[in-house]
Amino acid sequence: MQKIKNIILDYGNVIFMIDFLKAQEAFTSLGIKNVEDFFGHKGHISLFDAFETGEISAKAFRDGIREFSKVATLTDQQIDDAWNSLLIGVPQGNHELLLELKQKYRLFLLSNNNEIHYDWIMRYLKQEYDLDDNSSFFEKDYYSHLMKMRKPNADIFRYVLDTHALDPSETLFIDDSPQHLKTAAEVGLHTRLLTQPDTLAQMLKREGIL
């Protein structure tokens, strides 16, 4: 790998742990059929894409869940609880790892996110770590629903590169989704796939980055 000066990190299952199976189980309990086609790691219905790009509001998302499930009586809280059930938290040491990386590299966060998850995560960071947000760990933290763009589309990668004048040949992107890495590589980024039980710290040490 060429000399790396910049690192772009995904959030879910890179820094903050999530569990797609928990969400699938929760959605099934709400009456969703064929849940793996409805919502999964490698694909989902267009409702989720629209929510992650900020095209629809939290209200419209909840209404879409009611329509798809054909259970009109679902409450906002039931839907939010099911949707948020996949959110686990930040493993011990990951925040310290980010601060260490920030001393050596230009560090960025690039997360596919949405209004409901973002609000939950911000509350979690405040309650567990007394942090207002993730900004202290990165030169800039990006969230898809605020950018109106999402991975794996090339425009979101080009936006980050262009905004910060990053040379893609000097930039590493780490994500847990192969489809995101494919596009990142096409725009010239170095890429690494992080999958459990591997951890970010283990990967960075193995690659000689830490």
CATH of domain 6-16+92-112+132-206: 3.40.50.1000
User: Range with the lowest mean pLDDT among 14-18, 43-47, 152-156, 200-204?
Assistant: 43-47
Q: Which residues of 80-90 are buried (b: 16+ CB within 10 A; e: fewer)?
A: bebbbbbbeeb
Predicted local distance difference test score (pLDDT) of residue 43: 58
Model confidence band, residue 69 (pLDDT cutoffs 50, 70, 90): confident
Predicted local distance difference test score (pLDDT) of residue 1: 61
Model confidence band, residue 6 (pLDDT cutoffs 50, 70, 90): very high
Predicted local distance difference test score (pLDDT) of residue 112: 97
The average pLDDT across 144-150 equals 98
List, for residues 71-95, the tens digit of each pLDDT value.
899 999 999 999 999 999 999 999 9
- The mean pLDDT of the chain is 94
Residue 42 has pLDDT above 70, yes or no: no
The average pLDDT across 96-104 equals 97
Query: Hey, what CATH class is 20-85 in?
Result: mainly alpha
Predicted local distance difference test score (pLDDT) of residue 163: 98
**Residues 5, 105 contacting (CB under 8 angstroms):** yes
Predicted local distance difference test score (pLDDT) of residue 36: 75
Break the chain into its structural domains and give their ranges.
6-16+92-112+132-206, 20-85
Residue 40 has pLDDT above 70, yes or no: no
Work out the angle at residue 101's Cα, subtended by the Cα atoms of residues 134 and 141, and round it to the nearest 5 degrees.
30
| Secondary structure element (H or E) that encloses residue 174, with its range | strand 171-175
Q: Do domains 6-16+92-112+132-206 and 20-85 have the same CATH topology?
A: no
